[in-house]
Each structure stands twice: as C-alpha cells, then as structure tokens.
Structure 1
C-alpha cells in the first residue's frame, strides 16, 4: 500500500498529496496501523489537496488515541507542535474546530495541551472552536474551551456569538455554561438577541433562563420587533414573555444581576469559592 501518491513539497508543513494511508488510519481510528505507519517513517503532516492533515481526520471522528499518536510523532521528528496543531484546511478549520464539532472533549483537551489556539481568526467559512462546541451541544467541550481562554463574544457571520449559536440549536445547558462564564446575555447580531432566537424557537426553557440572566425583553431587532412579537399568540413562550414583562423584578433577582454584572467573566470561578449555602449558589448560577 502506497503511503503517499504523487507528492510535491508544500511550504514548511510537509508533503502535499492525495489522501494517504495515514489519513485513512487516523480517520478510522486504527491506532495500531497508524503506529506501524509512523514507525515505518510515514509523514504525519502530509496534507491533501484541501489542506487536510491526518490530525484533522482523527479529530473529525473524535479519535483521541490516533490524535495523540500523531502529535507525539510530530514532536519526535522535530516539527513544531503548534504548527501542526493549528494547520487550517482550505475552508479554514483547525483540528480543534473539528474536535469541538465532533463533540470530543478528549481530542479538544489533548489539542489544548499541545498548544492549540483557542481563538483562531475567523474566516468566511468557519466558526471558532467554541461556536462549534455550542452548535454540536457538547457541554464538556464548551467548558474546556472557556477554561482554555476562548472568547465569549466573538461573532460568527452565520450565528453571531457562541450564545446565539447555542440558542439557535436550542442547547440550553451550553447556553447556561456560557452565561455563567460571563457571556453577555444581551449581545446582538444585527440587533437580534438570544431572547429573540428563543422566542422564534418557542423554547420556554431558554426564555426563562435568559430572563433570569437579565435578558432585555424590550430589545428590538433590525425589524423593530421585540422577542414577544416572534412568539406565537397564546403559546407558552408568549405567556412566559408576557408574564415576565408584567411582573416587576424582585430585590433578590436585582441583587443577583448586580453581583453577576460586577463579577463579569470571573463569575463562574469567583462565586464557586464563596462560603455560602448550596441553595444560594444554585440561585446565583440560575441552576
């Protein structure tokens, strides 16, 4: 079996070729075969015509063992690990983007340990790893990316912020983790907030949570519509928005919002260290 077909040298990354046996083994999770190929001298950073490396392939399928073998092999032959880790495909995806899109916290954690960039520059065709984790609905990947320094307010041209992405896909727990980490509940994409999105999807769970985190029920989007204007008349979402709009916020809730606003992104780390009852912590976290 040929390892590389019709190669030509391409920059500092390695050989540019069609799909190789290393790509195939990494994609399928055949760790033993991949180890044998590496031991026989196969290039681990060979790119296909679409600039896809074996590491991209492994992470696309959540093959953590194969990803580790590739990263270790890259380091052993003297290549810069960060160069391999952050190589982009022709569409702009990094291996970390692929890992989060696959919902693989094992691959994501491994890549971060090897220096993968948590905030790669956005392109017209890609989202950030945090966006991908929110789209997938992987709470573990969302937590990993936040811990790794992922920006919470980065805008993707299709979804907006990661919070917009989580709400569009109706992943309530991902949205909760973002908000507890300090994401701006009223961030707007073309004036559309997460609450507008929740109303459009008739998601009472999202609406209740967003309101608890201080979402502005009166915010208007680019069409001059408020979230309630998108709720189907008589639906649970419409009733929820109407009730919250007519009910004055109590002092407890205002105090919670003030504390969260003062702590900002440090909320998740700081609040958990307070020596207060668990019930109060649950209240501050909107659990």
Structure 2
C-alpha cells in the first residue's frame, strides 16, 4: 500500500517519473492512487523534483492532482525556487498560476535569488513583474543583485537595477561593486556606477572595490577614472530622481510630463 502523506521514505516511483519527465508513467501512477505529496528524507516532494528538472508537463500533472504548491524541502526551498534554479519559465508560470508565493518567508535564497543564480533573465523579469522582493536577503548570498553580479549575469543585473533594486545594498558591508571588482568585469562596474554605485563603499575588511583590482588592469583604471572624474550633472540628476521614485519607479517616470527623450534617459533605455 502507498505510504500515507508525511511518512518519511526514500524516493518513490512518483519522484522518479517526475524527475525524468515521464509524464505518461506519472499519469498512470496518479490514476492508480499514488500519493503526489509523498516526501523523501530530505522533505523533497515529486513537485520539487519535477520543478528542478524543468519538467513542465509533470509539474502540470502534479499540480492538477493536488500537489502542495509551496511545500518546503529540508533547505526551506519551495518548488518555485527549484523551477527558477532550472531556468524553466514554463514551470515558473505554472506554479504561479496555482498560487505559488513569489516571496515565501525564507531564511535562504528566494525564487528571485535562484533565477539570478541560474542567469535566467526571462524568469527574473517575470518574478519582478509579479512583485518579487528586490531586497530579499540571504545570509550567504546577500540580495539578488549580489548574486547576479557575483555570477556576472549582466542582463539580470540591469533588470534588477532598472526595477529599482538598491545598488548599494550591503552584505557584511560588501556591495555589488565589490563583487564586480572581484570578478574583474568592467562592463559590470560601469553599469553599477551608472546606477549610483558608491565607489568609496568599504566592506568589513575596510576595503573599497578598487582594492580588489590589480593595479593598471582595466577594472582598476575604470575605478580610478571615476575616483578622479566627478559624474556629470545629468547623471547625478538621473540617479537622484531614480532614488526619489523608489522601487518600481519606472511606472512613475513614464507618466512624467517631460519630453520622451528625457523619459528614455531616466529609464536607462
């Protein structure tokens, strides 16, 4: 007989079929009365397994059969976190349509962190659109912006910044610019400075971003240039206005009664 819900076991045939994307096999198991909410010793449900592998058809079958959409595994991750880690926009949309929480109360990485880690800009955009918390804080990774910078996913970084993520958010006083300097990415450094990144911010070791660059390297020269050259007045105004409009300020900027060229400039288009 099928073990009752909550009884801790190793992986079941439902887990195996879900993970492998064997939708026909999964459908037969469901029809024969298999439990879709069975958990393994790590509290992993079949829905976690299917989401992590981006198996959209299996995710659909499990949800329709009553799988718990916000079940937590041993790490506290929900199936939405796993779908974002896989970068499967189809699975993300399915889970959200069944009421998955975009901001589950986690002490670990949020769905947005996971999407930034996998570098799935499509998932990042969708999560931002449905109200993901841009400043969700993970004790290991910091904010989603920290993760996107550390992994050098520039398109995700730009999306977060355009949506109003705090460019100077700190994890142990370490900012996104510290990450950009450490990964030696000039494009990333310039983008963060353009959005108001503080080149003088010091981390818990008292170091500025430039302290993590090799002297005379391209990142060092870039930071040195900005240390010696003040930002233009137009750039300072843009950063100030964006700060004043706050998170998701793009909607407010688009409604301003000013020339379209200025709206484009303020929107970083």
CA 1:178–1:43: 2 relative to 1, 3 Å: same
Q: Distance in 2 between matches of 1:250 and 1:63?
A: 49
Matches within 5 A, 1:48-197: 48-74=40-66, 84-123=68-107, 126-197=108-179
Among 23, 26, 43, which residue is 1:31 paired with?
23
Indicate the residue corresponding to 1:239 in structure 2. Answer: 221
Q: Distance in 1 between matches of 2:138 and 2:13?
A: 34
CA 1:159–1:70: 2 relative to 1, 3 Å: same
CA contact (8 A) 1:212 1:286 kept: no
Taking only aligned residues, the RMSD between alpha carbons, in angstroms, comes to 1.9
Indicate the residue corresponding to 2:35 in structure 1. Answer: 43
Correspondence 1:256 to 2:238: yes
Which consecutive unaligned segments of at least 5 residues does structure 1 have?
75-80
Q: Distance in 1 between matches of 2:246 and 2:141?
A: 23
Give the C-alpha shift of residue 193 in structure 1.
0.7
Q: Number of matched residues?
A: 269
| CA deviations over 1:79-118 (Å, ceiling 9, x no partner) | xx6xx01111112111011001111111111111111111
CA 1:276–1:103: 2 relative to 1, 3 Å: farther
| CA deviations over 1:2-58 (Å, ceiling 9, x no partner) | x84xx3552xxxx54321221111111111221222122221111112111110011
Scaled by the length of structure 2, the TM-score of the pair is 0.93
CA 1:212–1:101: 2 relative to 1, 3 Å: same
SS at match of 1:130: helix
CA contact (8 A) 1:8 1:17 kept: no
Q: Distance in 2 between matches of 1:191 and 1:168?
A: 15
Matches within 5 A, 1:221-232: 221-232=203-214
Correspondence 1:211 to 2:203: no
Which consecutive unaligned segments of at least 5 residues does structure 2 have?
none
